[in-house]
Structure 1
Amino acid sequence: MSEPFSARLRTATWTDHKAAEQTTFLDDLTRGRLPLAAHAALTAQHHLIYEVLEEAARPWAGHPVAGAFHHDGLTRLPALAADLEFLLGADWRDALSPVPATAEYTARLRETAFTWPGGYVAHHYNRYLGDLSGGQYVARALARAYHLDGDGLRFYDFTPLGDLDAFKNGYRAALDAAPWDGAEQERIVDEVRLAYRLNTEVLADLGRVHPNPFPPEVIAQIMRHMNDDHAGDSLLICRAALPEHTRPQASAAVMSGMDAVGLEFRAVVDGVDTPIRVPFAQRLTERAQVRVEVTRLYREACQVLGVPAR
């Protein structure tokens, strides 16, 4: 028995799929290394893409093949509008400006998804099956990183579909049952691969607009400065962060890492290597803020410990 088309499609596009998931922008976003504005920017690009894709769904509603793939519970535009209003306020439509890759993406959608049933299904599969799979991980990561609960993440909520695994199985069964010959299947595979590439380029463009202010090389520079020139300050900051009865037992400290929301140290407390995380007062968005925030932490530590600040 030949391999089902859904399995062949997944295998043939797996490398493209992983490339889209592993962009620096998406990694930084899901780890909370970027400001919330970066999440809003991605949401705005999604709105521009789904506006075209869901416009294309309407003429295929009665089609014997293409019409089998869309479900009202998949429709994303109302959720995207709600997310953008929550994230940006009443003027959220002002943010609907495409990055270059989104302009290319929507142009490709208009070229293929309105006139070619297989092209429509290729883009439909790329977006919605991704939203129902890896998109659910992204939603959980964004919720943790930015303390979101429902609002701002409606795009990823597919509650009307019920059991998502059952829905995806039905979707794959429809792919397997579609009466496409081998040549048409290959065209669809190629179009899905192109869709993944376009998605990856959208994320890359957003990474250029919203770069991580604290990439590894910047963190390494800050750590060297703190550990070479301010080891005593680090120890004071760590002592102030400890419970009062253990503060005198902290004998040394080095900075071991940081992100946009706090500093990480390794301190020797009563002879034991101890990790200590000290949060910033707010999420930082640029390198210049680090010096201001570390100075604040140092001065507050001096006050807590009753020692004079320099």
Structure 2
Amino acid sequence: MSTNLAKQLREGTTKSHSMAENVSFVKSFLGGVVDKKSYRKLVANLFFIYSAIEQQIEKNKDHEAIKSIYFPELFRQSSLAQDLNYYYGVNWSNQITPSSATKLYINRINSIGINQPELLVAHAYTRYIGDLSGGQILKKIAVNAMNLTNNVGVSFYDFKAIEDEKSFKEKYKKALNNIPLNDIQISQVITEANIAFNLNMQIFKELDSSLIKVMIMLFISSLNSLRKKIV
């Protein structure tokens, strides 16, 4: 049984994907404007999100819809923990809390993990396929923008257990297509994927305000420096 779910998910989330890319924080990031304080907040929020996703996938790994896409080599929790250790120090776990938007995201994941596990497919697709598709580009942007050395602070983008990311992505798409879902469930998964994109956008919008504040502060600082030179 093949459902062509991978293609349906891609086509069914095209608009949401485009909207997510046009959030100011994402546009700034893609343009190479990355503030370390805002970025470490993002890493912290991602830690909570991936922890929830991976906990629910682990709990439901024998579920008919989940076992086909159960690939622990994709899990990001430990990689994000390494990055948090860099940005916050060894006591990072005592310094981070999920943002309001992140809490909503986590609650959604935990709710469907208990009540409708097949919808976890949508969240796994949204996060992991995105990570595999653009991870190396985003890593390069982050490294250059924040002057990172020796790849510290960007472990999130490294899939050390996957030798060939392109081949693995094809393997993952085939696994998606082999998930035994009926037409109603497929429609629900696509709807859930769009919800996942929206939840991500809300987190990016929270980070927008932090980035804007930093940019204003930098602008004011630059003005003050300029005034001193003029005087």
TM over 0.5: yes
Q: Is the 8 A contact 1:33 1:212 kept in 2?
A: no
Unpaired segments of 5 or more residues in structure 2? none
Equivalence for 2:12: 12
Work out the CA distance in 2 between the residues paired with 1:108 and 1:144: 34
Q: Is the 8 A contact 1:69 1:174 kept in 2?
A: yes
Work out the CA distance in 2 between the residues paired with 1:64 and 1:33: 43
Deviation at 1:3, TM superposition (A): 7.9
SS in structure 1 of the partner of residue 201 of structure 2: helix
Which runs of structure 2 are paired with 1:18-167 in the superposition (5 Å)? 18-148=18-148, 149-167=150-168
Unpaired segments of 5 or more residues in structure 1? 216-284, 299-308
Q: Is the 8 A contact 2:32 2:145 kept in 1?
A: yes
Equivalence for 1:268: none
Work out the CA distance in 2 between the residues paired with 1:201 and 1:194: 11
SS in structure 1 of the partner of residue 62 of structure 2: coil
Q: Is the 8 A contact 2:3 2:177 kept in 1?
A: no
Work out the CA distance in 1 between the residues paired with 2:95 and 2:206: 15
Work out the CA distance in 1 between the residues paired with 2:34 and 2:173: 35
Equivalence for 1:204: 205
Deviation at 1:293, TM superposition (A): 3.3
Work out the CA distance in 2 between the residues paired with 1:114 and 1:75: 20
For 1:291, give the aligned amino acid: L
Work out the CA distance in 2 between the residues paired with 1:160 and 1:80: 15
Q: Is the 8 A contact 1:41 1:95 kept in 2?
A: no
285-294 or 32-41, which deviates more: 285-294
* Deviations 1:87-143, CA, capped at 9 Å, x for gaps: 111232234222221111111001102332321111111111111113332212111
- Tell me, yes or no, if structure 1 residue 173 matches structure 2 residue 174: yes
Q: Is the 8 A contact 2:12 2:190 kept in 1?
A: yes
Q: Is the 8 A contact 1:87 1:152 kept in 2?
A: yes
Q: Is the 8 A contact 2:73 2:162 kept in 1?
A: yes
Identity %: 27
SS in structure 1 of the partner of residue 161 of structure 2: helix
Q: Is the 8 A contact 2:84 2:153 kept in 1?
A: yes
SS in structure 2 of the partner of residue 165 of structure 1: helix
Equivalence for 1:291: 223
SS in structure 1 of the partner of residue 63 of structure 2: coil
Deviation at 1:9, TM superposition (A): 1.3
For 1:288, give the aligned amino acid: I
TM-score, scaled to structure 2: 0.90
For 2:223, give the aligned amino acid: R
SS in structure 2 of the partner of residue 133 of structure 1: helix
Aligned residues: 229
SS in structure 2 of the partner of residue 210 of structure 1: helix
SS in structure 1 of the partner of residue 114 of structure 2: coil
TM-score, scaled to structure 1: 0.68
